[in-house]
């Protein structure tokens, strides 16, 4: 090995093993697994720990031990129902209740804080009736969530671009469901990407409704890519507003990287560390 090679190797070594500066950590950040599905889970968890993340979203129970090995909480996991077939139809309630009871019990035993559920698509169902049915369905499972200390999060999604016909597509509709269910263990998953597409006015909406929100997802608009200057949202003041409200739940990155995925993730983590 030549002197030049040795010097080059030595110069590269610190970058390869560099430990980033500690995060302020006022916001518990997480990452959605599906956006990084080309990276083995163990590698993603190891990288997430190094970055200072606190959780991984949307992993199944058999994957929880991998996250927990690196001190990461499975911050949001499957609960019951699917995006098109959810709580807005009574014929789905028996199945969703069974799934939620099983998954809530499993989550509680493993120290997992949140499970996800969905309104379902309209398919011609009026919004007032769909809302009423979601309340009925959530009332069937809220006590088990309360008893087990696990929060059911109803996700807000856009029906304009990604999930055509989805019923829980505006904050006001979702808030009314949560208000009527009236349980500390039933909350909204406020996806900033989706609600920017449907409504905008993100910071004011969050401030007015924070008591109904149990979890956040991020994503650049348009395109659901990096939280950078190619998109219309500035996530730093959004993160600051959420922290200033005293929010103590998880704030999970759910964007699909176009560049090196772990570099993009770390940039987002640093941007939102306020």
- What is the dotted CATH code of the domain comprising 23-271? 3.20.20.150
> Residues 96-107: pLDDT tens digits?
999 999 999 999
128: left (phi over 0), alpha (psi -120 to 50) or beta: alpha
- Residue 49 C-beta-side C-alpha neighbours within 13 Å: 14
Residues 6+ apart with CB under 8 A from 141: 80, 97, 100, 101, 104, 152
Domain chopping of the chain, boundaries: 23-271
Residue whose structure tokens are 């570099």: 263
Distances (CA, A) of 3 to 7, 10, 16: 6, 10, 20
pTM above 0.95, yes or no: no
Tokens representing residue 116 in the block: 């996800």
- The C-alpha atoms of residue 28 and residue 250 are separated, in whole angstroms, by 5
Beta bridge partners of 114: 151
- The C-alpha atoms of residue 204 and residue 238 are separated, in whole angstroms, by 10
Distances (CA, A) of 259 to 52, 170, 227, 251, 263: 21, 31, 12, 22, 8
Residues of the chain with confidence (pLDDT) below 50: 1-17
Distances (CA, A) of 21 to 47, 51, 56, 61: 14, 9, 21, 32
The 8-class DSSP code of residue 115 comes to E
Cis peptide before 232 (omega within 30 of 0): no
- The C-alpha atoms of residue 58 and residue 81 are separated, in whole angstroms, by 14
Tokens representing residue 66 in the block: 């991998």
Q: What is the pLDDT of residue 18?
A: 58
φ, ψ dihedrals at 207, nearest 5° = -60, -40
Residues 6+ apart with CB under 8 A from 37: none
């Amino acid at each position: 090995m030549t002197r030049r090679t040795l010097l080059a190797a030595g110069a590269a070594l610190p970058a390869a093993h560099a430990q980033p500066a500690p995060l302020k950590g006022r916001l518990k950040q997480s990452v959605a697994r599906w956006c990084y599905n080309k990276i083995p889970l163990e590698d993603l968890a190891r990288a997430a720990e190094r970055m200072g993340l606190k959780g991984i979203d949307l992993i199944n129970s058999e994957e929880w031990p991998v996250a927990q090995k690196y001190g990461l909480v499975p911050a949001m996991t499957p609960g019951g129902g699917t995006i098109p077939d959810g709580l807005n139809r009574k014929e789905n309630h028996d199945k969703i209740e069974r799934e939620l009871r099983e998954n809530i019990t499993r989550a509680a035993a493993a120290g997992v804080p949140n499970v996800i559920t969905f309104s379902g698509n309209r398919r011609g169902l009026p919004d007032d009736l769909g809302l009423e049915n979601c309340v009925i369905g959530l009332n069937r499972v809220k006590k088990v969530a309360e008893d087990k200390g696990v929060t059911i999060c109803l996700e807000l999604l856009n029906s304009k671009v990604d999930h055509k016909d989805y019923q829980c597509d505006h904050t006001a509709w979702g808030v009314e469901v949560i208000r009527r269910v009236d349980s500390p263990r039933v909350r909204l998953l406020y996806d900033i990407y989706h609600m920017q597409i449907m409504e905008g006015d993100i910071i004011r909406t969050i401030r007015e409704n924070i008591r109904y929100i149990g979890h956040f997802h991020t994503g650049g608009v348009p395109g659901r890519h990096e939280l950078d200057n190619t998109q219309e949202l500035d996530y730093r003041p959004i993160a600051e507003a959420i922290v200033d409200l005293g929010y103590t739940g998880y704030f999970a990155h759910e964007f699909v990287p176009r560049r090196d995925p772990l570099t993009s993730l770390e940039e987002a983590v640093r941007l939102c560390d306020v």
